[in-house]
Amino acid sequence: MVFSPEDYSLIDFGEGRRLERFGPLVLDRPCPAADQASRSAAARWAEADARFGGRSPNGGAWSERPGLPERWTVSHGGIRFELKRTDFGHLGIFPEQAANWDWIAGQLRSAGSVLRVLNLFAYTGGCTMAAARAGAEVVHVDAARNAVAWARRNAELSGLAEARIRWIADDAAKFVRRELKREHDYDAVILDPPSYGHGARGEVWRLSKHLPLLLKDCARLTAGRCRFVLLTCHTPQYGPARLKSLLEEAMASGSPGQVTAAALAIRAADGREMPSGAVARWTAL
Same domain, 167 and 243: yes
Q: Read off the CATH number of the domain in which 116 is found.
A: 3.40.50.150
Same domain, 118 and 189: yes
Show Cβ contacts of residue 124 under 8 Å, excluding neighbours closer than 6 positions. Answer: 81, 82, 92, 93, 147, 150, 151, 154
Same domain, 38 and 107: no
pLDDT of 58 reads 63
134 falls within a domain:
yes
Q: Read off the CATH number of the domain in which 72 is found.
A: 2.60.40.1180
Mean pLDDT, each 10-residue run in order, the chain (285 residues): 91 97 98 94 96 75 96 97 96 97 97 96 98 98 97 98 97 96 98 87 87 98 97 96 98 95 96 97 97
User: How many CA atoms, within 13 angstroms, populate the side-chain half-sphere of residue 132?
Assistant: 26
Same domain, 166 and 272: yes
Same domain, 75 and 99: no
- Please identify, among 84, 119, 142, the residue that sits at the C-terminal boundary of a domain: 84
Q: Of 276, 270, 231, 274, nearest to 249 (Cα)?
A: 231
89 falls within a domain:
no
Same domain, 119 and 48: no
pLDDT of 93 reads 98
Q: Give 269: exposed, middle or buried? Use CB within 10 Å, 0-12, 13-18, 19+.
A: middle
1 falls within a domain:
no
pLDDT of 213 reads 97
Q: Of 255, 245, 182, nearest to 215 (Cα)?
A: 245
168 falls within a domain:
yes
Same domain, 171 and 204: yes
- Please identify, among 28, 60, 84, the residue that sits at the C-terminal boundary of a domain: 84
pLDDT of 12 reads 97
* Domain count for the chain: 2
For residue 272, give its domain range.
95-284
260/80 Cα distance (integer angstroms):
29
- From residue 138, give the alpha-carbon distance in Å to each of 27, 134, 189, 236: 32, 11, 10, 29
pLDDT of 203 reads 77
User: How many CA atoms, within 13 angstroms, populate the side-chain half-sphere of residue 61?
Assistant: 2
Same domain, 200 and 231: yes
Same domain, 80 and 55: yes
Three-state secondary structure call for residue 22? strand
Same domain, 60 and 109: no
Contact 120, 210 (CB under 8 A): no
Same domain, 69 and 194: no
Is the pTM higher than 0.85? The answer reads yes
List, in sequence order, the alpha helices (H) in 110-253: 126-133, 145-157, 172-181, 207-221, 240-251
Contact 143, 197 (CB under 8 A): yes
- Please identify, among 36, 51, 84, the residue that sits at the C-terminal boundary of a domain: 84
2 falls within a domain:
no
30 falls within a domain:
yes
pLDDT of 204 reads 86
Contact 237, 207 (CB under 8 A): no
Same domain, 60 and 166: no
pLDDT of 1 reads 63
Handedness of CA 84, 90, 92, 97 (dihedral sign): positive
Contact 120, 51 (CB under 8 A): no
33 falls within a domain:
yes
116 falls within a domain:
yes
75/48 Cα distance (integer angstroms):
21
